[in-house]
Amino acid sequence: MTQRIKVYPVRKWRSRLGPRLCPYDNRLLLGRWFFYERFQRALDRCNDSPHSRVLDFGCWEGHFLPSLLANYSQVWGVDNDRASAVETVPGTWTILQSARSLCLEETQCISHLRLVKADGRSLPIRGSFFDIIFCLDTLPYVRKDSRTKVLLELRRVLKPSGTIIISLPIEMGASLVLRELLRKLSGSYRQNYNTSALLHGLLSSPRQQPDENETASLVGYDYRADIEVIESQFIIRRKEFLPWKWLKWLSPTILLVCETKPGNA
């Protein structure tokens, strides 16, 4: 029986962003558990070969990277280092410098880690390079008119036989109520819903406004529209709601396991 790849929660390093902005330092144990459970379920759905070359696209502070470094021989983290909450904390490094510091403190060995500052629309990486790509809760923060271009680039750098795992937040219906309640209880970053946006979200008809830049707001985000975009570039082999498969109407995240369409490599 194949041994399960395990997530390694960050224990030593602490984000200078604090629990309000860093979900992995959430004041609620349930909140912290959920974000690491998302990592675990992503790992459960991919190739467990230690020789795989993997990419964490939109790696941010790098909380997923120690788990990847412990299980894979080549690990890449890519982030554009823009629109980052780190800018709100005086004296902090860039987000990728924070990711490097996190990995060094947690793993003591980062010789097989490469961090790259890059725009997802143009990755400085040759084609068919990665066996596995993780894109976890990153796509919603990309401009709507750039999401297809980003997915095209991810398809280009993924091997024809590779797997891309994408997670999307659910900001509608009962899931929205649960998210807003937990955000309030934990004192974490709020999405600043006004009455109209909240009503549309509760009725499962969210309306995301056009954005000129990468945004930190999920107000009006409709994950169903992004699934359509993803299906234009990849075959979705598996969809599952997190963390409760049997309560999809209450689950705050959907996980997609995808592969390249034949002839699109």
Q: What is the pLDDT along the chain (265 residues), one digit of tens a residue?
A: 356 788 999 999 998 888 888 999 999 998 899 999 999 999 999 877 888 999 999 999 999 999 999 999 999 999 998 756 676 777 677 889 999 999 999 998 899 999 999 999 999 999 999 999 999 999 999 999 999 999 999 999 999 999 999 999 999 998 988 888 888 888 887 777 888 888 888 888 887 765 655 556 788 899 999 999 999 999 999 999 998 888 888 899 999 999 998 765 5
Q: Give the model's pLDDT for residue 247.
A: 82
- Could you tell me which of 171, 135, 178, 168 has the C-alpha nearest to residue 239? 168
Q: Give the model's pLDDT for residue 213.
A: 52
Alpha carbon distance 67, 4 (integer Å)? 12
Q: Give the model's pLDDT for residue 168.
A: 97
Three-state SS at 201:
helix
Amino acid identity for residue 79 in this structure: D
Extents of the domains making up the chain: 18-260
Which DSSP helix (H) or strand (E) runs through 260? Answer: strand 253-260
Q: Give the model's pLDDT for residue 216.
A: 65
Which DSSP helix (H) or strand (E) runs through 70? Answer: none
Q: Give the model's pLDDT for residue 199.
A: 86
Question: Dihedral of CA 105/107/112/116: which sign?
Answer: negative
Q: Give the model's pLDDT for residue 205.
A: 83
Is 52:75 a contact under the CB 8 Å cutoff?
no
Residue carrying the six token digits 């649960």: 178
Q: Give the model's pLDDT for residue 134.
A: 98
Q: Running DSSP on this structure, what letter comes out for residue 195?
A: H
Q: Give the model's pLDDT for residue 1.
A: 38
Which CATH superfamily hosts domain 18-260?
Vaccinia Virus protein VP39 (3.40.50.150)
Q: What is the chain's Cα-based Rg? A: 18
Which DSSP helix (H) or strand (E) runs through 75? Answer: strand 74-79
Q: Give the model's pLDDT for residue 215.
A: 58
Alpha carbon distance 260, 60 (integer Å)? 25
Tokens encoding 265: 């490599």
Is 265:160 a contact under the CB 8 Å cutoff?
yes
pTM: 0.92
> Could you give the angle at which helices 223-231 and 147-157 cross, rounded to 10 degrees?
40
CB atoms within 10 A of CB 79: 23
Tokens encoding 56: 């964490």
